Structure formats: C-alpha cells, structure tokens
Structure 1
Amino acid sequence: MAVKTAKQPILVPVDFSVASEAALLKAFELAECLKVRVVVLHVVHDPGDMPGYYTTMLKKKKLARMQDAARAMLEEFIQEFRKKYNTKQRLKRTERMLVIGLPVTRIMQVAEKIDASIVVMGSKGERGLKHLMLGSVAERVVQLCPLPVLVVKAELQEETS
C-alpha cells in the first residue's frame, strides 16, 4: 500500500446517529489540521433487522423512493450539524455522497474511489446478543479496510469546539 499524502480527503460514513455526529465533528477537527476536505457518505441500506429505517421521512411524503428519503435525511443531518457547530468552516466545502448497497462493502469501495487518507466513523458501542448476531459496521470496516480507520464513540459528541 502506498503512503497517503496530506491532500487526500477524509471519508465519514454516517447513519444520522449521535455516533455519526461525533465522528463528523472529529473529522472536521482533523480536516482543519490537515487542510483537507471531508466527504460525508451515507449508504442506503434497509437491513432486515431494522425494516423501515427510512420511514420517518417516508411518512411525511406519501410515496417516495428510499433513496429520496435518505438524501433528504442526509441534507437534514448536515443542516442540523451546521446549525449546532456553525464555527466549522470546512462544512461549507463538504462533499456529500449517497450510494446504495451493503454498508461495509460500499464504504470501502468509496474510500478507494475517492482515494481517502482515512475513514472516520462513529460507533454506538452495542454489546450483547444483538452485537454477536449482527456485528458492527465500524468493527467490520476496521477489520477489512486497508486504510486507517478512526472509530469515534458516541459519548464524544458532547465535546464542542
């Protein structure tokens, strides 16, 4: 694997959770230091264990494609983040990506496509039987991704700058 340069973007996969907010906040701190852009990624996936993940948005619109609901949720997530952390200048130049597929696979494919230097993602820290049965997207990305992966715990979201 070639050494990554400082101008390569930071990839931040989000699922609109508090953990994703914490990861995005940490990614912007890194981006400020490194003077690189941030790419916010959402993978449209309605897993069998959580059917109806996008139903909140779909209830507002009678008929909508899952991708349309996810795109609206991504924009809303970014807008809420912008309001909460309005001092983050890099947010204005943030790229947004929406792809369809299995989260772990698509995160790694997008990281390769954009030539990311690092993946920064949140972790909800689930444990117990649910974790054993389903696993964690962050955990699988850490195991399989050839790039450095920074996992940010949800508790960090209380740190504001």
Structure 2
Amino acid sequence: MFKHLLLPTDGSSPSEVVNRKALQFAKEQQARVTAIHVVPTFHTLTYRTTMLEDTREEFVAECKAQASKFLTEVERAAQEIGVPCRSLMVTHDHPYEAINDTAAQSGCDLIVMASHGRRGLKGLLLGSETQKVLTHASVPVLVLR
C-alpha cells in the first residue's frame, strides 16, 4: 500500500519510539524510508539564547552533529531490519513546511511522526509541529505516540 515513508525525527524519546514502529511498518509494507531532521536557520535575533553566544559556524557545526546523531540512529535501525533508508538534514525556520515540502519533493506517500502530547497553554506557546504538518500535508500523515 505505502511505498515511501517520510520519518521526521527530533531525537526525543517519543520520536525514537515512533522511529522503531515506523521502520517495522515500512518493513511490513516493503517500503523505503526517508528520515529527516529539520534545524533552524541561524539568526542574530532569536528566542534561542544559545544562538546569541554562537557564531554562525559554531551553530551550523552543532546542528550538523546533532542531526547526524539522530539520523545515523534511524539509518542503523533501518539497516538492522532490512529497510532501505536515506536521510536528510534540512535547514528551515518552520519544520512543518520543511517536512511537507520534503514529502512532496521526495515522492513520499506517507508521513509517520510522533506527537509529544503538548496541550493547553504549553501546546499553544510551544506550538505543535505535528498539528501543523497534519493541517498542511498533501499526503496522509500517521501520528503515533
């Protein structure tokens, strides 16, 4: 049924759990997986106070290292169970847009992602990338917890 899954990952515990489930689902579907990690663009004016201390080069290096860690884990798990997997680090200020754009550009027919379960004021203030993906996606989205 599904042949190409997009698997956004942020390295969180919920994301790691969903990664394992999504890879098993991909194996059952005989599908391939594209794993994606979205990093923010470097800004000199930002809500992320750590950016204010970094140079652009330090920030980019830190983002690449973090993305590599998260994506390598997905690739390793995919290889262990025999699921074809490629990975991408994408720089974008709006992760939901990067996820939806990548799904369209890569020909993915399903996005599988975690929900962190943020509700109420926390959900309002922090936002829900999963909700935004669901709202704007042009392909089906499977949300797991």
Matched, 1:69 2:62: yes
Q: How many angstroms does 1:77 deviate by?
A: 2.3
Among 31, 36, 59, which residue is 1:36 paired with? 31
Q: Which runs of 5+ in 1 are unaligned?
A: 154-161
Q: Which residue of 2 aligns with 1:52?
A: 50
Q: Which residue of 1 aligns with 2:21?
A: 26
Q: Distance in 1 between matches of 2:35 and 2:16?
A: 11
8 A Cα contact 2:10 2:70, kept in partner: no
* Distance change in 2, residues 1:50/1:18 (3 Å): farther
Q: How many angstroms does 1:104 deviate by?
A: 0.9
Among 4, 7, 10, which residue is 2:5 paired with? 10
Give the 3-state SS of the residue equivalent to 2:50 in structure 1. coil
Matched, 1:98 2:89: yes
Output the TM-score relative to the length of structure 2.
0.79
Instruction: Name the stretch that deviates more: 64-73 or 108-117.
Output: 64-73
* Distance change in 2, residues 1:119/1:6 (3 Å): closer
Q: How many angstroms does 1:114 deviate by?
A: 0.4
Q: Which residue of 1 aligns with 2:120?
A: 128
Q: How many angstroms does 1:16 deviate by?
A: 1.0
Give the 3-state SS of the residue equivalent to 1:52 in structure 2. helix
Q: How many angstroms does 1:76 deviate by?
A: 1.7
Output the TM-score relative to the length of structure 1.
0.72
Equivalent runs, 1:101-116 vs 2, <5 Å: 101=92, 102-116=94-108
* Distance change in 2, residues 1:13/1:63 (3 Å): same
Aligned-partner residue type, residue 112 of structure 2: V
Q: Distance in 2 between matches of 1:121 and 1:140?
A: 12
Q: Which runs of 5+ in 2 are unaligned?
A: none
* Distance change in 2, residues 1:14/1:52 (3 Å): farther
Q: How many angstroms does 1:67 deviate by?
A: 3.4
Q: Distance in 2 between matches of 1:147 and 1:100?
A: 21
* Distance change in 2, residues 1:100/1:85 (3 Å): closer
Identity %: 28
Number of positions where the alignment pairs a residue of Structure 1 with one of Structure 2: 140
Q: How many angstroms does 1:86 deviate by?
A: 7.7
* Distance change in 2, residues 1:85/1:12 (3 Å): closer
Root-mean-square deviation (Å)? 2.9
